[in-house]
Amino acid sequence: MYGLMISEIEKKEFEYLLKREMEELILDLKSRNIDHVVKRAMRERYQILFRLFKRFADQSECLKYLPSKYFSQHLG
């Protein structure tokens, strides 16, 4: 187990970076031009980012980025 000490400003910056990365993945997952193998890797990456995001963000923010909202059959 690792610990991390960051300031409130750094926490907000980290949240911002995670949100932007997840939003970009969501947009890419909606693209029909991306191969399903690549999309599977993108979904795995999203899951990792979301787990990190849950440690920093409020519950209401987490609800906006729930993976189940974006990983329905039509996206894969």
- Structure confidence by residue, pLDDT tens digits, 1-18: 888 899 999 999 999 999
pTM over 0.85: no
The closest of 67, 63, 70 to 31, measured between CA atoms, is 70
The closest of 26, 63, 69, 61 to 45, measured between CA atoms, is 26
The count of other CB atoms within 10 Å of the CB of residue 22 is: 20
pLDDT(75) > 90: no
Q: What's the length of the chain?
A: 76
pLDDT value for 72: 63
What are the residue ranges of helices labelled H in 2-76?
Answer: 8-29, 36-56, 59-64, 67-70
- Structure confidence by residue, pLDDT tens digits, 3-56: 889 999 999 999 999 999 999 999 999 899 999 999 999 999 999 999 999 998
